[in-house]
Amino acid sequence: MVFEVIDSISLASGEANEDRYGHCGGLMAWVIDGATDVIETPLIGSGTDAAWFAEAVHRTISTAALMPPEHLDDFPARICETVAAAFDRAITRQPTGRHEYPSATTMIIRANGDRVDYVAVGDCALIVQADENTHTVGLGGAEAGDRSTAKVVVSLQEQNATASHDEVKALIWPKIRKRRAKINLPDGYGALSITPPPPKFVATGSLDVTPGDHILIASDGLTRLSELYQRYKPNELIDAAITRGLEAIVRELREIEIADASCKSHPRVKATDDATGILLKII
């Protein structure tokens, strides 16, 4: 069995789209979400480091997908090794610390007979609709909707009642930089970066599929509809993607975000985020 691409979208929230997606030969598909820069001067010197890194990861996966890897568990580490070498050639200055390392999250899937294998690092998501059952990976965890960050946003909003959202965001930025300094450390968090993620941060597995099943892989900017705004449950989100199309649900996403530009109803750091998804059908 292989994938058929039904629909896809990648909508930027600003000048640079720091998401990427791709597919190859009906056998592999992926979504990449570059982590927004937390530095004023990019290391690459052109555009954002996040966009450069996401594109470099995309190119690396695209090349590897021409001969799909037999094992996915070490695939993230091999991606990081390749991209780190490209990064060393491209930088205009050295990072001053780990918080400056470019990074991204990803969901990569591979058709494997009557199964779909996946490997994920970070908060991109996989939804599989099989008959009346829906299976998810990367949704509904303890950090769904970035809850810990949302709590900090609420606290800062309460302490600075007259502050604009941009002013609140400026206050939280040092906390985000501090967290970034723990990228791919055992006591931190995992991501694709110029250092590989420890195995404990790499999620792998397989899901059974049959012809006619649908699959949605998406960045967290799109799954905000479920995780943050709670407009859809995961099964409803993939149903909406199938029946209405990804453009329609991303338009709905932006309407919610524009209506809550102050981020008071739905506390979050970024008022809008890049939203990317690819809808597939098993044939």
Whole-number pLDDT of residue 146: 63
Instruction: Let me know if residue 101 belongs to a domain.
Output: yes
Phi-psi group of 130: left, alpha or beta (phi > 0 → left; psi -120 to 50 → alpha; rest → beta): beta
Burial class (CB in 10 A: 0-12, 13-18, 19+), 155: middle
- Could you tell me how many helices (H) and strands (E) the chain has, helices first? 7, 11
CA–CA distance from 150 to each of 59, 76, 170, 189 (Å)? 33, 28, 14, 18
Instruction: Let me know if residue 31 belongs to a domain.
Output: yes
Rounded to whole angstroms, how far apart are CA atoms 276 and 246?
9
List the one residue out of 141, 138, 144, 137 whose CA is nearest residue 206: 137
- For residue range 4-62, list pLDDT tens digits in order: 999 999 999 988 999 999 999 999 999 999 999 999 899 997 789 999 999 999 999 99
- For residue range 139-196, list pLDDT tens digits in order: 976 555 466 777 778 888 878 777 787 888 888 888 899 999 999 999 999 999 999 9
Strands 125-130 and 214-218: antiparallel
Rounded to whole angstroms, how far apart are CA atoms 203 and 278?
20
Six-digit token string for 85: 């070498």
Provide the residue range defining the domain that includes 80.
Answer: 3-143+185-260+274-282
- What predicted TM-score, i.e. pTM, was given to this entire model? 0.95
Q: Say how many domains are in the chain.
A: 1
Backbone angles phi, psi at 208, to 5 degrees: -70, 140
Instruction: Let me know if residue 167 belongs to a domain.
Output: no
DSSP secondary structure letter of residue 200: G
Give the mean model confidence (pLDDT) for residues 241-255: 98
Whole-number pLDDT of residue 46: 79
Instruction: Let me know if residue 149 belongs to a domain.
Output: no
Instruction: Let me know if residue 73 belongs to a domain.
Output: yes
- For residue range 126-137, list pLDDT tens digits in order: 999 998 899 999
Instruction: Let me know if residue 9 belongs to a domain.
Output: yes
Under 8 Å between Cβ of 16 and 48 = yes
**220 — pLDDT class (breaks 50, 70, 90):** very high
Under 8 Å between Cβ of 86 and 71 = no
Q: What is the CATH number of the domain that holds 237?
A: 3.60.40.10
Rounded to whole angstroms, how far apart are CA atoms 101 and 195?
9
Give the mean model confidence (pLDDT) for residues 90-97: 95
Mean pLDDT of the chain, nearest integer: 93
Whole-number pLDDT of residue 278: 99
Backbone angles phi, psi at 246, to 5 degrees: -65, -35
Under 8 Å between Cβ of 271 and 229 = no
- Most confident of the ranges 18-22, 45-49, 64-68, 69-73: 18-22
